[in-house]
Amino acid sequence: MRRVAFQLKVREDKIEEYKRLHEDVWPDMLEALRRHGWHNFSIFMLPDGVLFGYFETPSSFEDALAGMATEEVNDRWQADVEELFEGMDVHPDQKMVEIAEVFHLD
């Protein structure tokens, strides 16, 4: 499994809404994530809305994103959350910035 980390920024006035949405993620969205290799997936947030996401995948970040891009449920989810992020002119998953791993202790 490859460990992947990414970063995004939620608008400060939308932080609570973002948290509420993630209390009850759609079951078909969860299934799509699993189907495309998003395992052990967590999202962390700093008080200012900076998100740090982490997941493990059998392939690559690019493959995991490309798989989700084929899912209608992902298109609906991205459209619903797009307004919650800063500087979005495309779906948020297209703006995810991968963070390079520089250390790992197993």
Count CB-CB contacts under 10 A for residue 32: 19
pTM higher than 0.85, yes or no?
A: yes
Structural domains in the chain, CATH included, are: 2-99 (3.30.70.100)
**How far apart are the C-alpha atoms of 46 and 66, rounded to whole Å?**
27
Catalytic residue among 22, 36, 39, 91: 22
Q: What is the pLDDT of residues 10-27, one digit of tens each?
A: 999 999 999 999 999 999
Integer Cα distance of 86 and 36 in angstroms: 26
- pLDDT in the model for residue 93: 81
Active site residue 22: yes
Element spanning 30, H or E: helix 27-35
Dump pLDDT digits (tens) for 40-61: 999 999 999 999 999 999 999 9
Per-residue pLDDT, 13: 97
Q: What is the pLDDT of residues 80-96, one digit of tens each?
A: 999 999 877 677 788 78
What's residue 62's pLDDT?
93
